[in-house]
Amino acid sequence: MNFEEIRKERLEQINKIIELYLPEEEGFQATVKKAMNYSVRAGGKRLRPMLMQETYRLFGGESRIIEPFMAAIEMIHTHSLVHDDLPAMDNDEYRRGRKTTHVEFGEAMGILAGDGLLNLAYETAARAFMMEPDNPHIGRAIGVLAGKSGIYGMLGGQSVDVEAAGQAVSREKLDFIYRLKTGALIEGSMMTGAILAGASEEKVDLIERVAAGVGLAFQIQDDILDVTSTVEELGKPINSDEKNNKTTYVTIEGIEKARRDVKEISEKALAWLDGLEEKNEFLRELVLQLINRKN
Amino acid sequence: MNFEEIRKERLEQINKIIELYLPEEEGFQATVKKAMNYSVRAGGKRLRPMLMQETYRLFGGESRIIEPFMAAIEMIHTHSLVHDDLPAMDNDEYRRGRKTTHVEFGEAMGILAGDGLLNLAYETAARAFMMEPDNPHIGRAIGVLAGKSGIYGMLGGQSVDVEAAGQAVSREKLDFIYRLKTGALIEGSMMTGAILAGASEEKVDLIERVAAGVGLAFQIQDDILDVTSTVEELGKPINSDEKNNKTTYVTIEGIEKARRDVKEISEKALAWLDGLEEKNEFLRELVLQLINRKN
């Protein structure tokens, strides 16, 4: 099978795993459960659980203990999308061609569905304790997952981004936003995979650096595509950053430097990954495709 | 020292513990941290961490491992208040005489501060693993904490309450709302205390029933006070349920039956507690006061 065939197979597998941990749409609280499932089932590339699972494989992980964590990180990611779309935030009515959660279920239910997903992520991750009560890595994995998702991670980056809307942003602040808002959850995905597979402290640190590079290159590539792509290629509006007066890596550094930096950052991340004795060819290819993507 | 003096001393202690786990208001994301601290520092009786700590003491718990969990449950409770107050939910501008978080910091920051607190609760609880990596109870405690906070607990009750606004509510649905919205977090508090102290499965189950009774009696008492108290006694507007056309235990069952049921439910809960060989006189008194409170 070529890369794309394997990716599709893995994606299907991941979707099945996520489904296992979604709530049954029953009981008096069926509506909030429906809203949560609606959000998660909107789909997407399941990039974070995929990176988590492949990093777990990289370090020889073979147990199903990774599965609740894979579902958990996708719930955390989806929670952030649901709340980002709210009227008080980005006020988006559509995402991936479907109505956003609060448009479909009302604003109160949008807030509660996001809360419900964030909390369900930890309920789900904690299920790993029932699977392997004596596994010494689960506690640390939950700590890292939570740390990378909160105000020192994703939510912190999101809060700075919200506050900076419509203002000029310094390169230092932009780096902070990118590192936290996009990077932190990718770091959390890959680190959790490494930790649960029992990788050494040094290797978990190295994976954190790889993931930070991947996250940053991914985000800069996003800025580049916004100005160089066509609507057809990207599948969403282009030049949205300019329309929103948004400071991006491209508006600060220019398109040429942005391209050079994506190349440099991603080459460094791949070199770190290649320096490991452990190998996962699919993970390497996945990282490459992420950075060089056209949409 | 009498009960009230001990309670005040413990409350001070609890506030110090919570402070230990609140974020420093620094960095680019200082605003969201300020909003979170503002919400938590609005004060209150710290009922949930107090019940947790006293249940931990009841079963002979003596380690500081309980402290991150005490902070965590107060963060989860505060998160629910911050989000309940949002314009799309109850749209409250004041709480305990201070502006609500979204009024003080803006709606986007209100949403993010609530998210930040919910996530920080799990970051904080996970710190227990660093304190006692081999403690076998931490994982289960996190599972119970998350379970009682989410859509099968507090958030589930909240979502049904939101959806039922302005509608006639059956006794069955009202019981569901009370059990989840108010009861679940009290169950989570006391069960976590018992689990971390190493109480047996049977005793944790008994504590769950005690806590469910306390939660239900507490909520019915709330409904009674809303119609029988004066503004001076209650320290907040009275007859608010009638004004909001809200179905309560009192509107369904009448004031006399409500009073009898509070008495019966709380006597049963206390009898269960008294049936244990372990004793904690302060916890017993705390439960009594909660049920018989005038405000």
Q: What is the pLDDT of residues A4-16, one digit of tens each?
A: 999 999 999 999 9
Residues B207, B190: Cα–Cα separation, whole Å: 7
For B293, other C-beta atoms within 10 Å of its C-beta total 12
Phi, psi dihedral angles at B98 (to 5 degrees): -115, 155
| Predicted local confidence at residue A293, as pLDDT | 80
What's the average model confidence in pLDDT over B19-40?
98
Residues B239, B223: Cα–Cα separation, whole Å: 9
Q: Note whether B148 and B188 are within 8 A (CB).
A: yes
pLDDT at A231 over 80: no
Residues B79, B194: Cα–Cα separation, whole Å: 24
| Predicted local confidence at residue B236, as pLDDT | 72
| Predicted local confidence at residue A267, as pLDDT | 94
Q: What type of residue sits at position B245?
A: N
| Predicted local confidence at residue B156, as pLDDT | 98
For residue B125, the surrounding DSSP H or E stretch is helix B107-131
Residue range(s) defining the domain that contains residue A123 = 3-291
pLDDT at A166 over 90: no
For the residues of A157-171, what is the DSSP string, one character each? HHHHHHHHTTS---H
What are the residues whose beta carbons fall under 8 Å from the beta carbon of B31, sequence distance 6 or more?
A: A159, A163, B105, B109
Q: Cβ-count burial of A168 within 10 angstroms (0-12 exposed, 13-18 middle, 19+ buried)?
A: exposed
Q: What type of residue sits at position A160?
A: V
What's the average model confidence in pLDDT over A200-227?
96
Nearest Cα to A29, choosing from A146, A128, A121, A120? A120
User: Is B149 in contact with A23 (Cβ distance < 8 A)?
Assistant: no
For chain A positions 152-181, those within 8 Å of chain B (CB to CB) are 152, 155-160, 162-163, 173, 176-177, 180
Q: Best mutation site among B163, B170, B174, B191 for testing chain A: the one with the most A CBs within 10 Å?
A: B163
| Predicted local confidence at residue A151, as pLDDT | 98
What are the residues whose beta carbons fall under 8 Å from the beta carbon of B287, sequence distance 6 or more?
A: B210, B214, B266, B269, B270, B273
| Predicted local confidence at residue B269, as pLDDT | 96
User: Is A151 in contact with B29 (Cβ distance < 8 A)?
Assistant: yes
> Total structural domains in chain A?
1
pLDDT at A129 over 90: yes
> To 5 degrees, how large is the angle CA A250–CA A253–CA A255?
50
Contacts of A85 in chain B (CB under 8 A): none
Query: Tokens 């931490």 identify what position?
Result: B138
What's the average model confidence in pLDDT over A165-184?
94
What's the average model confidence in pLDDT over A263-287?
96
Compute chain B's Rg from CA coordinates. 19
Mean pLDDT estimate for chain B: 95
Task: Point out which residues pair with A99 in neighbouring strands.
Answer: A94
pLDDT at A245 over 90: no
Q: What is the pLDDT of residues B76-94, one digit of tens each?
A: 999 999 999 999 999 999 9
pLDDT at A111 over 80: yes
CATH number for the domain harbouring residue B74: 1.10.600.10
Alpha helices, DSSP H only, in chain A? 3-21, 30-41, 47-58, 66-84, 101-105, 107-131, 138-149, 154-164, 171-177, 184-196, 201-228, 231-234, 240-243, 249-253, 255-275, 281-291
Indicate if the alpha-carbon torsion angle A208, A211, A217, A219 is positive or negative. negative
What's the average model confidence in pLDDT over B95-118?
96
Q: What type of residue sits at position A34?
A: K
For B230, other C-beta atoms within 10 Å of its C-beta total 11
Task: Point out which residues pair with B98 in neighbouring strands.
Answer: B95
User: Is A32 in contact with B159 (Cβ distance < 8 A)?
Assistant: yes
| Predicted local confidence at residue A43, as pLDDT | 83
Q: What is the pLDDT of residues B148-188, one digit of tens each?
A: 999 999 999 999 999 998 888 999 999 999 999 999 999 99
Nearest Cα to B123, choosing from A207, A118, A149? A149
Residues B147, B139: Cα–Cα separation, whole Å: 12
For residue B218, the surrounding DSSP H or E stretch is helix B201-228
Q: What is the pLDDT of residues B189-235, one digit of tens each?
A: 999 999 999 999 999 999 999 999 999 999 999 999 989 987 777 77
Nearest-Cα distance to chain A for B4, in Å, is 35
Q: Best mutation site among A92, A115, A118, A173 for testing chain B: the one with the most B CBs within 10 Å?
A: A115
pLDDT at A284 over 80: yes
Compute chain A's Rg from CA coordinates. 19
